[in-house]
Homo-oligomer: A and B are copies of this chain.
Amino acid sequence: MSILTVGTMAFDSIETPYGKAEKVIGGACTYISWAASYWYDRIHLVSIVGRDFPEDEIASLAIRGVSMEGLVRRKDMDSFFWAGKYHADMNGRDTLITDLNVLAEFNPVLPESYRDSRYIMLGNLTPSIQTAVLDQLRGRPEVVVLDTMNFWMDTALDELKKVLARVDVLTINDEEARQLSGERSLVKAASVIREMGPRYLIIKKGEHGALLFHEDQIFFAPGLPMAEVIDPTGAGDSFAGGLIGYLARTGDISFRNMKTALIYGSVMASFCVEDFSIDRLRNLTEAEIHQRIHQFENLSSFDVNELPIRRQS
Binding site for B on A (CB under 8 A): 17, 37-41, 63-65, 88-89, 184-188, 205, 208-209, 211, 217-222, 225-229, 246, 249-250, 256-257, 259-260, 262-263, 284, 286, 289-290, 293-294, 296-310, 312-313
* Contact between B259 and A187, CB atoms less than 8 A apart: no
A-B contact pairs, 21 of them (CB 8 A): A17-B184, A39-B307, A39-B309, A39-B310, A41-B310, A41-B313, A185-B226, A185-B227, A185-B229, A187-B227, A211-B225, A220-B222, A220-B299, A220-B300, A249-B307, A260-B302, A260-B305, A263-B304, A294-B304, A296-B304, A300-B302
* Contact between A208 and B205, CB atoms less than 8 A apart: yes
Complex CA gap A256/B260 in Å reads 23
* Contact between B299 and A304, CB atoms less than 8 A apart: no
* Contact between B260 and A304, CB atoms less than 8 A apart: yes
Complex CA gap A79/B256 in Å reads 52
Q: How many monomers of this protein are in the complex?
A: 2
* Contact between B298 and A286, CB atoms less than 8 A apart: no
Residues of B within 8 A of A208 (CB): 205, 208-209
A71 to chain B, nearest CB (A): 19
* Contact between B222 and A222, CB atoms less than 8 A apart: yes
Output the nearest chain B residue to A290 by Cβ-Cβ distance. B306
Residues of B within 8 A of A188 (CB): 227
Complex CA gap A296/B309 in Å reads 17
Output the nearest chain B residue to A298 by Cβ-Cβ distance. B217
Residues of B within 8 A of A229 (CB): 185
A213 to chain B, nearest CB (A): 8
* Contact between B187 and A310, CB atoms less than 8 A apart: no
Q: Which of B205, B209, B284, B302 is within 8 Å of A309, CB to CB? A: B284
Output the nearest chain B residue to A300 by Cβ-Cβ distance. B300
A17 to chain B, nearest CB (A): 8
Residues of B within 8 A of A64 (CB): 312
Complex CA gap A298/B35 in Å reads 27
Residues of B within 8 A of A259 (CB): 301-303
Residues of B within 8 A of A218 (CB): 225, 298-299
Complex CA gap A293/B306 in Å reads 9
A242 to chain B, nearest CB (A): 11
Output the nearest chain B residue to A220 by Cβ-Cβ distance. B222
Output the nearest chain B residue to A190 by Cβ-Cβ distance. B225
Output the nearest chain B residue to A294 by Cβ-Cβ distance. B304
A221, A300, A305, A312 interface centre (most CB from chain B within 10 Å): A300
